[in-house]
Structure 1
Amino acid sequence: MLINHNNNETNHVKFVSYTGKWPNLCRGDLILEIDGEIVAFGYGFKSKDKPKYYPFWSSGGGLNPNYEGAWQGEWIIDVNRLPEQFRKYAAEIDKVFNNNVPWGCCGGCI
């Protein structure tokens, strides 16, 4: 689910990898190829080889009020949290992220 969006650029973004998994599905590092450049987002450290940017996603899932399990939902991509130079590709980033990273809330943040 894309929020704060006003573009529809395509064919610039490719999925490379995502490291998030239970119990912290939301807290992985995302590697994308954007216009031929490898770009890393997440909570890791910056390095010379992989530029590092803060995460721009949050879970579209959650836990039910009785803590009896989690529901799955599309990732929420906040365009305002994307680095400015990548915002023109927001719709494509949303599609690539949601098509390649498992949806949901694993409950690990409780």
Structure 2
Amino acid sequence: MLINSNKESVTEHVKFISYTGKYPNLCRGDLTLEIDGEKVIFGNGYDIKMNKRKGVYPIFWHSGGYISANYEAYKGEWQIDVSEIPEEYRKYASEIDETFTTNVPYGCCGGCI
């Protein structure tokens, strides 16, 4: 689900390569995409001060799941915040959202409690 969408829709520019998140921290993986033929990595380990390599960016997704008051995990659709996608890729936000949600199981496995 897109948040802060600019409503632009462009297709066939984004290809899923891999995602490293898994239980118990599904939402904290590295996402590797191919965007316009260039390998682009988004990851939780991104350090804005230390990592200025081209093609490595911070995460733009958040789990739509939650933990109930009695500590039951409920999976929910990924929240893709367009304002957190690097500006040069925002025009592909709809395609990035579709690619991510199609290839990564819905979040909130309870590992973050």
Residue 57 (structure 2) aligned to one of 28, 53, 69: 53
Offset of 1:44 from its aligned partner?
A: 3.2
CA distance in structure 1 between the partners assigned to 2:60 and 2:89 by the alignment: 11
Report 1:82-101 matches (<5 A): 82-101=85-104
> Is contact 1:70-1:104 (8 Å) kept?
no
CA distance in structure 2 between the partners assigned to 1:71 and 1:47 by the alignment: 36
Per the alignment, residue 34 of structure 1 pairs with 35
Flag as ranges the 4+ runs of structure 1 deviating above 6 A.
none
SS of match in other structure, 1:38: strand
TM-score (norm 1): 0.92
Amino acid at match of 1:59: S
Root-mean-square deviation over aligned CA pairs = 1.4
SS of match in other structure, 1:20: coil
- Judged with a 3 Å threshold, the aligned counterparts in structure 2 of structure 1 residues 42 and 60 are, in CA distance, closer, same or farther, namely same
- Listed as ranges, the gaps of 5+ residues in structure 2 are none
> Is contact 1:56-1:78 (8 Å) kept?
yes
CA distance in structure 2 between the partners assigned to 1:87 and 1:52 by the alignment: 15
For residues 8-65 of structure 1, give each alpha carbon's deviation from its aligned partner in whole angstroms, at most 9, with x where no partner exists.
11110000000000111110000000000000001235485x7210000000111111
CA distance in structure 2 between the partners assigned to 1:62 and 1:77 by the alignment: 16
Q: Percent identity at matched positions?
A: 63
TM-score (norm 2): 0.89
CA distance in structure 2 between the partners assigned to 1:47 and 1:91 by the alignment: 26
Amino acid at match of 2:23: W
